[in-house]
Amino acid sequence: MTVSSSTATINGIDLAAVGALAQQLLADPDAPKSSWSARTQWTGAFTSASYAREHRPIVSDEPALLAGTNSAPNPVEYLLAAPGSCLAVGYAASAAARGIELRALEISLAGTIDLRVFLGLAEGHAGYEQIELTTRVDSDADEAALQELHEHVVKTSPVGNTIEHAVELRTRLLSS
CA 131 to CA 115: how far, in whole Å? 16
Task: Map the footprint of a copy of itself across residues 111-130, applying CB under 8 A.
Answer: 111-121, 125-130
Q: How far is the CB of 7 from a copy of itself (least distance, A)?
A: 14
Q: How far is the CB of 18 from a copy of itself (least distance, A)?
A: 5
How many CA atoms are closer than 13 Å to the CA of 61, on its beta-carbon side? 13
Phi, psi of 167 (to 5 degrees): -110, 130
Q: How far is the CB of 95 from a copy of itself (least distance, A)?
A: 10
Q: Is 30 in the site for a copy of itself (CB under 8 A)?
A: no
Q: Tell which residue, 43, 152, 30, 29, has the closest CA to residue 87.
A: 152
Pick the binder of a copy of itself from 5, 6, 30, 36 (CB under 8 A): 36
Q: Is 62 in the site for a copy of itself (CB under 8 A)?
A: yes
Nearer to a copy of itself, 2 or 56 (CB): 56
Three-state secondary-structure class, residue 58 = strand
Cα-based angle 153, 154, 157 (whole degrees, multiple of 5) = 80
Three-state secondary-structure class, residue 10 = strand
Pick the binder of a copy of itself from 1, 4, 26, 30 (CB under 8 A): 26
Pick the binder of a copy of itself from 82, 98, 99, 101 (CB under 8 A): 82
Task: Map the footprint of a copy of itself across residues 83-102, applying CB under 8 A.
Answer: 83-94, 102
Q: How far is the CB of 35 from a copy of itself (least distance, A)?
A: 5
Q: Is 8 in the site for a copy of itself (CB under 8 A)?
A: no
**Amino acid in the structure at residue 167:** V
Q: Is 147 in the site for a copy of itself (CB under 8 A)?
A: yes
**Amino acid in the structure at residue 173:** L
Q: How far is the CB of 157 from a copy of itself (least distance, A)?
A: 6
CA 84 to CA 97: how far, in whole Å? 20
Pick the binder of a copy of itself from 5, 6, 7, 138 (CB under 8 A): 138
Interstrand relation of 13-14 and 9-10 (parallel, antiparallel or unpaired): antiparallel
